[in-house]
Structure 1
Amino acid sequence: MSNTAANLRHKIDSASDLKGVVRTMKALAASSISQYEKSVSSLTDYYRTVELGLSATIQAVDVNLPAVGAISNTDKQGDNIVSAIVFGSDQGLVGQFNEDIADFAIKALADLGAQSQTTQLQVWAVGERVYSRLADAGLSMEKSFTVPTSINEITALVGQIQIDSETHLANASAARVYVFYNQMQSGAQYQPISQRLLPLDQKWQRELAQIPWPTKRLPEILGSNDMTLRALIREYIFISLYRACAESLASENASRLAAMQS
């Protein structure tokens, strides 16, 4: 009887310890969600500034529309290249987080014809777990990046992704680049979505060119028009990747919070 009572006390103590761990993880996840959501909101003003700069530059420059998406040169070798950047997780206890975004990306890329014999597919994954799932599905993986553990690490990650992708696409003027991530929804839910980063098509440019300048003083482009345009495009891509990463991290913590609640 004493052994049985001792075993019961041990189980009760273990359950109490587990409850304390779960409570702490839930608090951390809830706090992280708030921080990442605020970081996304803080991009609004900066994005508006970049958007106005692009609008003014596109209006001032006689742009060769199909080449606006090119980062380096105008070689035509990249016409059949599709690149994908997929944001996932490095840690467990996140429910179906990695499975959802991986399955969504695999289906979307298949619908785009990215896995045909005439198309070269390149995939960058943020997170070892989503990398493994994409690799198991037979996708051509280029590299895996470590998931940031704080807001301060997002900038470095996005900068590295930009450097690596520009290096791989140096001769690809018409390469298509997509980003896949889980976006936060109401009620601590998330939804897998995608965004095409490059090339920047004519519709995108026309919409930007129609944005009215906020003051009566017309803008003036300083320096080389082409260099200014490319610099603003890089900033636009930076913002898009930063937002995708922050949204993904907020969604990851929402998924972890739901797992801990269960």
Structure 2
Amino acid sequence: MMSDSLASLRRKIEGARDLRSVVSTMKAMAAASIGQYQRSTRALDDYYRAVQLGLSVCFRTGMLSSFASPVTGQEVNPWGDVTGAVVFGSDQGLVGRFNEVIADYAIRTLAALPGKTRVWVTGERVYDRLANTGMHVDLQVAGLFTVPLSVKGITPLVGRILMETLMPSPGEGEARRARRDKDGVAQLYLFYNSSRSGAIYAPVHQRLLPLDDAWRRELAGIPWPTNKLPEVMGSGEATLHALIREYLFVSLFRACAESLASENASRLAAMERAEKNIDQLSADLQQSFYRLRQSNIDEELFDVIAGVEALAGRISS
């Protein structure tokens, strides 16, 4: 019985050692992933600034033909009349409450908006949460995207998201224009977990559409870095649409990269907790092993002493 218990403890100790090796590997991978996504976000800052300056020039010169009806002069939204949302989550586990936090936050925020909401989801785990919980509110889960495994995978994902949300493009065909007018989104929100000081992450949201007066006035007020203002060459409307597409692209890219950085930060924290628990478990198993082995040795010694005493008694008698 004693030898069986010692063998069992030895197997558990070896299993804990192997598990710690796996956890350490996952911890290192999560730490490396955080770095690449944070670097990609920082690398976009200059490009995002350039897009803002381009839009500032367009709006400063009164290039608003894409937003005003030529008949009534009232603003129109070229993206349709449906409220849409993109929620970024994860496909993989070991991230704590990462998906629950962003899903519940998105549901609470969207429930306060009037009318129906169409949601596109990145990540199977947050998709399940939204599909199960969203049935209690007027929320339609319209699509599911796979979470990218690296920075290189973010660009194709953003392209698919923009196509699904029917971002307008110049020169589109009549069939697609009719579909966009019917099914496009008038408001587009992004929901993602973002790194915050004092916490691993926090859920946030950003409204991309509509591109309203306040947004355009803010951009028009950005000062040009030199004394010579640029001029828009060629079609001003095509330039404006191109800059808006880049603005939407960069915004979605940054949201996805921040979500991925937060996901890996959550996984890193989970792996650190697991590592600490495994170390404590290993220490407890080692102590139990030593105590049991010492008890086994003591029993064997007592048996030897008892046998010697018994033999000595027979000899003396």
TM-score normalised by L of structure 1? 0.90
What secondary structure does 2:96 align onto? coil
8 Å Cα contact 1:188/1:255 also seen in 2: no
Q: For 2:143 and 2:163, how far apart are their aligned partners in 1? A: 13
Structure 1 residue aligned with 2:120: 124
Structure 1 residue aligned with 2:162: 162
Structure 1 residue 44, shift from structure 2 partner: 0.5
8 Å Cα contact 1:86/1:125 also seen in 2: yes
Q: State which of 181, 194, 211 in structure 2 corresponds to 1:171.
A: 181
8 Å Cα contact 2:34/2:265 also seen in 1: yes
CA shift in 2, pair 1:235/1:69, >3 Å: farther
Q: Quick check: 1:211 aligned with 2:211?
A: no
What secondary structure does 2:245 align onto? helix
Structure 1 residue aligned with 2:205: 194
CA shift in 2, pair 1:20/1:174, >3 Å: closer
- Point out 4+ residue stretches in structure 1 off by more than 3 angstroms: 64-69
Structure 1 residue 120, shift from structure 2 partner: 2.9
Structure 1 residue 214, shift from structure 2 partner: 1.1
Q: For 1:69 and 1:55, how far apart are their aligned partners in 2? A: 19
CA shift in 2, pair 1:11/1:195, >3 Å: same
8 Å Cα contact 1:126/1:147 also seen in 2: yes
CA shift in 2, pair 1:69/1:198, >3 Å: farther
Q: Quick check: 1:242 aligned with 2:253?
A: yes
Q: For 2:25 and 2:76, how far apart are their aligned partners in 1? A: 48
What secondary structure does 1:170 align onto? helix
* Paired residue type of 2:192: Y
* Paired residue type of 1:161: I
* Paired residue type of 2:267: R
What percentage of aligned pairs have identical amino acids?
Answer: 56
Counting only pairs closer than 5 Å after superposition, residues 96-107 of structure 1 correspond to structure 2 as 96-107=97-108
CA shift in 2, pair 1:69/1:196, >3 Å: farther
Structure 1 residue 2, shift from structure 2 partner: 2.1
Structure 1 residue 224, shift from structure 2 partner: 1.1
What secondary structure does 1:171 align onto? helix
8 Å Cα contact 1:183/1:251 also seen in 2: yes
Counting only pairs closer than 5 Å after superposition, residues 39-58 of structure 1 correspond to structure 2 as 39-58=40-59
What secondary structure does 1:189 align onto? strand
Structure 2 residue aligned with 1:116: none
Counting only pairs closer than 5 Å after superposition, residues 10-25 of structure 1 correspond to structure 2 as 10-25=11-26
TM-score normalised by L of structure 2? 0.75
Higher helix share: 2
8 Å Cα contact 1:188/1:254 also seen in 2: no
8 Å Cα contact 2:165/2:185 also seen in 1: no
Instruction: Structure 2: state its 5+ residue gaps.
Output: 69-73, 168-175, 274-317
* Paired residue type of 1:34: G
Structure 2 residue aligned with 1:140: 140
Cα RMSD between the aligned structures? 1.8
CA shift in 2, pair 1:67/1:246, >3 Å: farther
8 Å Cα contact 1:188/1:251 also seen in 2: no
Provide Cα deviations, 1:177-215, integer angstroms capped at 9, x if missing partner: 101000012356101000001001101100111111111
Matched positions, count = 250
Provide Cα deviations, 1:96-138, integer angstroms capped at 9, x if missing partner: 000000000000001223xxxxx23110000001111111121
What secondary structure does 2:228 align onto? coil
